[in-house]
Amino acid sequence: MTPAHMLVQEAAPVTVGSGSNAFLEGLVATLGEYLPQWALWLGAAVTGVAIVMGLISLIAMFSVWLERKVAGHIQCRYGPMYVGWHGWLQSIADGVKLLLKEDMIPRDADRLLFMIAPALVLAAIVAAMAAYPLAPGVFFADLDLGVFFVIAMSSMTTIGVVMAGWASNSKWTVFGAMREAAQVVAYEIPLGVALLVPVMVAGTLNLREASELQSDWYGMGWFMFKNPFMLPAFVLYFIAALAETKRAPFDLPEAESELVAGFMTEYSGIRWSFFFMEEYAAMFLMSALAAVFFLGGFESPLTWAAGEFFGRELFVAGANGAKELNLQAIPYHAVAGLTLLIKTFAGIFLMMWLRWTLPRVRVDQVMTMGYKYLTPLALACALGAALWEAGKQALLG
């Protein structure tokens, strides 16, 4: 076929089954007679993007509600209470409000860049989200470069934020954008190096495979317990992830007490909500990476038990060699997917807890911490973990 098949592999819709794109295969089998292949690919890609967008909106809505609840309870109040049971519909009400709000563009802004910036930010995070595995056998894109892809795509959001800050043509936004650029450049290094530690132990960048490797010890063979350098690496990763996602105590790009709202001061309505969706989706992805590469991913004793009881293969070879859906294994995949989701939201909860507990640090303190402490510590961690693994191989063969 044409090289375009690689394109499709990158931006595929929900893929079921390991290794091959069963969704696309099924689509070609059923509709292949009526539509040309490129139309099917395009349709499948559009479907995939639509599903990821929906997922991001859901995550953002739930996280915003959770954030307000967490903030409320930490400050000895209730948070949203009136719209629905304990205010669970509050985010939907807010979403409708944001859609109806006037979309303002400042007179002196660079109109084109002002309009492109939120879209660029959202597009980057949608692309990154495609690597999130929903269950061991259900994923959008089963990428061999999984974690690398996520880091690369979420680094693109920085450009969108800088663009928004500059295009708004206001001193607050430019300050916010400058801080964002400096901060992300400083913290991308410790983030990547800290992630290198579990990647080194796993020997793979693929999220699904990394999770599979932790299924021993009755579902408790998490990388966290397999190497003594993993715990410091996890702490370093978490701190760097906070800075990458612009979360307190590193929310300097939007420090509201000094910069109004930082890089998004001039934005309103739905464009503003794009930045919010990006922030929560980025938190979700960073937590998901932490869950997959440090905390066992899909694996837990419950997942292990479900796997033993129901079987793990979502697809089995049928009568004439064709793949058939194994309905029995569905509970296992549901439990595994939920396990990862719960671990991810535990990470998000921790981020929120920190936000409402710690004061914001100063700009120079952020830079000092990134360059002088986190980077050398992360490098030391990576070196130690590598030596440990090499020693283990030499001693145990």
Partner 1 sequence: MELSDKLFYGLLAAGSLGALALCTLMGGAGGAAFALFAILVLAGSLLCIWERSVVRSAFCLIGTFGGTAGLFLLLGSDFLAMSQILIYVGGILALILFGVMLSPPDLTERKLPRVLSGLVAVGAGVAFVAAKVASTVNWVQAAELAEPEHATERIGVGFLAYDQYAIAFELAAIVLTVALVAAVYVARRRKIDLQDEGAQG
Q: State the residues that interact with partner 1 by CB under 8 A.
A: 1-4, 6-7, 10, 37-38, 41, 110, 113, 120, 143-145, 148-149, 151-153, 155-156, 158-159, 162-163, 166, 174, 177-178, 181-182, 184-185, 188, 199-200, 203-205
CB nearer to partner 1: pick between 74 and 182: 182
CB nearer to partner 1: pick between 143 and 335: 143
**Other beta carbons less than 10 A from residue 102's beta carbon:** 6
Could you give phi then psi for residue 225, rounded to 5 degrees? -95, 0
On whether the CB atoms of residues 158 and 180 are closer than 8 A, the answer is yes
CB nearer to partner 1: pick between 94 and 212: 212
The distance of closest approach from Cβ of residue 337 to partner 1 in the complex, given in angstroms and rounded to an integer, is 26
The distance of closest approach from Cβ of residue 276 to partner 1 in the complex, given in angstroms and rounded to an integer, is 21
Helix then strand count (H, E) for the chain reads 16, 5
On whether the CB atoms of residues 267 and 181 are closer than 8 A, the answer is no
CB nearer to partner 1: pick between 65 and 114: 114
Nearest residue to 140 via CA among 208, 38, 58, 202 = 208
The distance of closest approach from Cβ of residue 126 to partner 1 in the complex, given in angstroms and rounded to an integer, is 15
Q: How far, in Å, CA of 1 to CA of 11, rounded?
A: 17
The distance of closest approach from Cβ of residue 192 to partner 1 in the complex, given in angstroms and rounded to an integer, is 8
The distance of closest approach from Cβ of residue 330 to partner 1 in the complex, given in angstroms and rounded to an integer, is 30
The distance of closest approach from Cβ of residue 298 to partner 1 in the complex, given in angstroms and rounded to an integer, is 21
CB nearer to partner 1: pick between 13 and 307: 13
